[in-house]
Chains A and B, each alone.
Chain A
Amino acid sequence: MELSLFIVIGGITLISGLLVVFQKNPLYSALFLILTFLAMAGLYLLLAAEFIAIIQVIVYAGAVMVLFLFVIMLMNLDRERYAEAAGHRIQKFFGLAMVVIIVPLIGLGISTALLYSGSQLGAKGGQGLPAAQNASNAKAVASLLFTDYLLPFEITSVLLLAAMIGVVYLARREAKPDNAGPAQ
């Protein structure tokens, strides 16, 4: 049952990810990326991480992608603008070659680690998370977040403030000389 769910949701994620990369119109890429994020929330639910799944839907699919769509709307890309340039064959070939080299290396690294300590890593998976038996996932994550990880939490809030100030400054319009006011 879990295997069939994993194959369906994982297949949706992978195909939708490939369609993000290979669409000509960036609007369609953004819509397929929303589908990828929703499918990944489904994968997180399969892995018993309900809090992270909901946060993924709210933050990624709900806020980050809405920001992307606003920027795509404001940039007003014409047909000629988003058409890819014709001559980039060597670049595409080397991009594909690099991915074909890197992904098997990652896969080899994963299987080697499992080969040596596979029994240790696989043994605890059968009984689930210890904190999940008598508490919800959100409660368990919160109890860890506000005790052991309190300092990164506070630093993250300062980081968000800095990002907000930076974006407000970067996206402002420059003051033009003829906007000095009615009293000329």
Chain B
Amino acid sequence: MIPMSYYLLLAALLFGVGILGVLIRRNALVIFMSIELMLNAVNLTFITLSRYMGTLHGQICVFFVMTVAAAEVAVGLAVIMMIFRNRGTANVDEINLMKW
């Protein structure tokens, strides 16, 4: 058994990469993909702790996180498609009608 902190460190790094993607990229689809990467990092943390504590509650939590993430992706992509249909661009810098 390798130490638990290896998996937790990998999950933290993946979460950091997801944050980097959300903050740096300007395309709405790539931002959305980075959010999915962050959710997967959290899933990895849940399953690691479920394994090393000997219970299954972490895996149940991952089940629900996956379901909610799938529903969120469907709705979010529908919103992005509507914005693209109305504004003609997927660049989040150009969707600035509410900006002061």
Contacts and interface: CB of A to CB of B under 8 A. Distances in A.
Given A81-B90, A125-B54, A145-B60, A44 B70 contact: no
B66 A167 contact: no
18 contacts: A2-B1, A6-B2, A6-B7, A18-B17, A26-B33, A30-B29, A64-B69, A71-B77, A81-B89, A81-B90, A85-B91, A107-B9, A125-B52, A131-B56, A141-B60, A145-B60, A145-B63, A156-B64
A183 interface: no
Contact of A59 (B26, B70, B79, B84): B70
Contacts of A178: none
A104 B12 CA distance: 9
Given A30-B33, A160-B67, A17 B18 contact: yes
A107 to B, nearest CB: 6
Contacts of A17: 14, 17-18, 37
A163 B74 contact: yes
B90 A77 contact: yes
B60 A20 contact: no
A141 B23 contact: no
A30 B95 CA distance: 23
Contacts of B23: 91, 94-95, 98-99
A122 B47 contact: no
Given A29-B30, A144-B60, A166-B75, A21 B3 contact: no
Interface string B34-56: 10110010011001101111111
A131 B14 CA distance: 30
Contact of A163 (B7, B44, B75): B75
Contacts, number: 221
A88 to B, nearest CB: 7
A16 to B, nearest CB: 10
A26 B29 contact: yes
Interface in A1-48: 2-3, 6, 10, 13-14, 17-18, 20-21, 26, 29-30, 33, 36-37, 40, 43-44, 47-48
B7 A75 contact: no
A184 to B, nearest CB: 28
A20 B34 CA distance: 8
Nearest to A121: B52
A119 to B, nearest CB: 12
B27 A44 contact: no
Contact of B59 (A49, A94, A152): A49
B62 A52 contact: yes
A106 B62 contact: no
